[in-house]
Amino acid sequence: MEALKERIVREGRGIGGGVLKVDSFLNHQIDVALTREIGCWLAARFPQARPTKILTVESSGIPLACTVGEVLGNIPVLFAKKAAPNTMIEGVYSTDVKSFTKETVSTIRISRTLLGPEDRVLIVDDILAYGESALGLTRLANSAGASVCGIGIAIDKRFQGGYDRLVEAGHRVEAAAVIRSISDDNIEFESVHV
Amino acid sequence: MEALKERIVREGRGIGGGVLKVDSFLNHQIDVALTREIGCWLAARFPQARPTKILTVESSGIPLACTVGEVLGNIPVLFAKKAAPNTMIEGVYSTDVKSFTKETVSTIRISRTLLGPEDRVLIVDDILAYGESALGLTRLANSAGASVCGIGIAIDKRFQGGYDRLVEAGHRVEAAAVIRSISDDNIEFESVHV
């Protein structure tokens, strides 16, 4: 998606270790118009998926997930939580995921009452790196007996292998921008996504 | 706002200690159409505020903040973070806030590069209880030298005193639903907000 790639070129920065800093428009400060555009683009990539829920994990995927849910017909968005509030009283499905930008392992969880075997889940997230987060979300969906009908991503850092892991696991993955490599002074995109 | 109050009556539950469980539509699963409606309602309450940034804290306030930002003219949304990712390399403003639903104290932070003295901040959040979170956000704004031009809330649990603390601190607070009391089998609204 051109608008996203242009913005990455203009404001994104490689800060070592394959980490891409895009917090001025995607995952700390949010450009709501761009997010909406990306969400519409992603929603259009899954015309046959007929999801019943959009699933993401707090926090950066939430704005994108809300747009996708809205565009696909006001489908509910469910976001997995990293902490358990005392309102989560009916039992949870949970799984552990590694974060490479925060260098931590965290448990993500969803309430058992909000996802079930009748659900078709479209996973949405802002960045795909090693695939830990998206794979964690597929495990949560599977724990509830739900099926995963697709995975939509804003920025796929293809060189980190998450895409391959998800495709090998049988998922259809669509990304608005696919990055081949990141160095200190250059961000290179896969040419297939012009 | 009638639609929100009706939904609280239908799906909200008092679960003791003044805690309101609304995770089927507001803060775990998100009804994107209702969130949009609340966001539009809140945006319309601040016609003279002319904010330059919408400020919220991860995670539940994000969808609402994005709608408010969009409706007010694609104003950037900045969400304070509870953990410091390794992309936050330029220094932060931070402050501690108590969470009564999670029974924890957490540090919330924003990048110094994303808020400054020229900014007028509209704070948006899903629930106002004791005011800890909103007051924390006003401290972050003040640390950056920014001014706070209003505070917009989906559900104000007025009986917990957050509203009074914010008003005493000089802020204008608007809430889409104002709750007077919560018991196991009854949620009572302030009649002023019919």
Q: Which residues of A touch B101 (CB under 8 A)?
A: 85-87
Nearest to A79 among B24, B28, B87 (CB): B28
Return the SS3 of A152.
strand
Chain A residues closer than 8 Å to B79 by CB: 28, 30, 59
Question: Which chain B residue lies closest to A78 (C-alpha atoms)?
Answer: B29
- Say whether pTM exceeds 0.80: yes
Alpha carbon distance A152, A146 (integer Å) = 17
**Partner-chain contact B21 A74, CB within 8 Å:** no
Mean pLDDT for the stretch of residues A16-37: 96
Quote the pLDDT of residue A191.
79
Q: Has residue A129 got a pLDDT over 60?
A: yes
pLDDT at residue A85, as a whole number:
78
Predicted confidence at residue B90, as pLDDT, reads 82
Residue A194 has pLDDT above 70, yes or no: no
User: What pLDDT is stored for residue B103 in this prediction?
Assistant: 76
Whether A86 sits inside 8 A of B66 (CB atoms) is no
pLDDT (0 to 100) of residue B193: 47
Q: At what angle do helices A32-44 and A2-11 cross, to 10 degrees?
A: 140
The dihedrals phi and psi of B108, each to the nearest 5 degrees, come to: -110, 150
Distance CA A154, CA A17 (A): 20
DSSP code, position B95:
E
B40, B53, B66: best to mutate for the A interface, most A CBs within 10 A: B66
**Chain A residue numbers touching B30 (CB-CB < 8 A):** 62, 66, 69, 76-79
pLDDT in tens, A43-96: 999 989 999 999 999 999 999 999 999 999 999 999 999 988 788 888 999 999
Q: How close B90 gets to chain A, by Cα (Å)? A: 11
Task: Work out the burial of residue A118: count CB atoms within 10 Å of its CB; fewer than 13 is exposed, 13-18 middle, 19 or more buried.
Answer: exposed
Predicted pLDDT of residue B89: 82
ipTM: 0.95
Judge: A31–B74 Cβ closer than 8 Å, yes or no: yes
Given a cut of 50, is residue A193 above it in pLDDT? no
Does A189 score more than 80 pLDDT? yes
Structure tokens at A29: 């400060």
| CB atoms A81 and B28 under 8 Å | yes
The percentage of residues in chain A with a pLDDT greater than 70, rounded to a whole number, is 98
In a 10 Å sphere around its CB, with 0-12 CB exposed, 13-18 middle and 19+ buried, how is residue A94 labelled?
Answer: middle
Q: What is the pLDDT along chain B (194 residues), one digit of tens a residue?
A: 999 999 999 999 999 989 999 999 999 999 999 999 999 999 999 989 999 999 999 999 999 999 999 999 999 999 999 988 788 888 999 999 988 777 789 999 999 999 999 999 999 999 999 999 999 999 999 999 999 999 999 999 999 999 999 999 999 999 999 999 999 889 999 986 44
Task: Band the pLDDT of A192: cuts 50, 70, 90.
Answer: low
> How high is the pLDDT of residue A29?
98
pLDDT at site A84: 82
